[in-house]
A and B are shown apart, each in its own frame.
Chain A
């Protein structure tokens, strides 16, 4: 398993849990796919300032604990529907900072998942350096 430089192990593991709710296909990734996803996220986070990494860590902690008040369990112990409900709440939250936090977290997950060329066949994306034939192929 990849050791992320940007997040402590526990936060990295929780990032994967949240990633499965944001992009359900993350759950189907094998070990190599997960490592690749985390590697992309890790590189992006290491390119940013330490404050950004700290904010992400704090926000992950908030997501983990937020459901306790309503469901009596932390995020990682909820079923998939409730996990989704928690993130939906953050997405529509009247507090702008929390909405934007979720947006940033989603961006990281999407970067890690869709930034892997390995996922291109799954979504039907197949760029070619010479795309002229493809213009007429569809």
Chain B
């Protein structure tokens, strides 16, 4: 095993790791050795083909099809130079103040986070798209919500030079999305931070980590040769995403003294719902995600968002098969889509564990309150579709594959709560949070409010694993703000931390 020495190792390069890398870059410029170890590949610009299966294989764990142990939820986790910021849609929401207050983590209050949000809003070019850039899929959602008298808001997004390919979730082929792969990582590298791709960190401790560099068969070659390597470092910041950060710490033996490690995982369970219009609408051209409604967020625990997915993802998320399924798929250019996101409670039983081979397994049960939210969200979405003019709607828990327009006033009856059961609807997750939650002490949390693992001095977590509970809204800006805090603590204490 080769041995290398650095001052700081950052595990992962997504919203958390990319932010930490950029924030610590001044230390690199001052001569400290900092390296980011990223499991996934860096793709050449020309490799972003927009072909669904091909891109999913290169940019997601298990092609985006990681399943919970009971196979009821599919988890989409990005794996690339830039992590999940390569494959998100760039929607940039700020967490509600009431949620941060409920987190109740010493030092982590909204006034502390607010300037950090402002910083990344500016740095990543977050703005609203012009009206002329909005496609029918988005405008129909807005029209439907407005017709129902529901609150609807436009998503701020972080693009620059967006050409409306609608391929955000497959990696923008036009380099428009301002993820950490476009902003923070290049800035860090320019200041002297190394970024090593195709490098999986397998174990970590105070002052060291072990990693394996492998060739996945696609993407640009890693700057390190393949094989195993042991790295000593005075500070290690783990930013591998909620599942993999928890798994890494569990595999490294921290579970014995941190009983909350891996627990309190929340998934922001999601459904994709589809309405069919009588004539073609613009849906797969233009940015896919322009509006959301938080009308029911506090009362019923769900968000409605616009979305537009690709043929395979769409097919997989429809219920059923055969002629009706094919019929709906053949109406692709007439489809309006809504993504619903349910707020799930942070429960100790929902957690990351390791299998016999040391690989992460997610134990997750859809709580009855979440199933209630998903049910109400389906009914609400059906109403939006019909209010927007859809001729029929496919609801995953509907008593029939299609609910026709003539039945629009019976959606409550045609989408019964009793049919919303795990394993009978296709639930997905792209917002994984918790598992290394911040808190007051080791009895019920993993880190303090600075992301420092309890009982250690140079080991930090800096990603969505820190969330004590769901952020309720799309989480990436919150991840960046917390990673900014973590990096700030390391930077402010660099004299002590790096002199050991």
Residues on A facing B (Cβ under 8 Å): 21-25, 40, 43-44, 47-48, 84, 87, 91-92, 96, 99-100, 103-104, 106-107, 109-111, 113-115, 117, 119-120, 122-138
Contact = CB atoms under 8 A, between A and B. Distances in A.
B71 interface: yes
Nearest to A106: B321
B51, B322, B333, B426 — most chain A CB neighbours (10 Å): B322
Contacts of A138: 136, 279-283, 333
B72 interface: yes
Given A115-B52, A131-B286, 4 more contacts: A96-B70, A103-B71, A127-B285, A129-B174
Nearest to B284: A127
Range for the number of chain B residues in contact with chain A: 35 or more
A107 B316 contact: yes
Interface SS majority for chain B: loop
Nearest to B52: A115
B57 A103 contact: no
Contacts of B495: none
Interface SS majority for chain A: helix
Contacts of A44: 53, 57, 63
A103 B62 contact: no
Contact of A128 (B281, B285, B323): B285
Contacts of B286: 131-132, 134-135
Contact of B325 (A23, A92, A128): A23
B332 interface: yes
Contacts of A131: 163-166, 284-286
Contact of A120 (B53, B281, B311): B311
A44 B57 CA distance: 8
A132 B166 CA distance: 10
Contacts of A87: 321-322
B499 to A, nearest CB: 45
Contact of A125 (B165, B173, B311): B311
B285 A114 contact: no
Given A124-B331, A124-B333, A134 B50 contact: no
Contacts of A111: 53, 312, 316
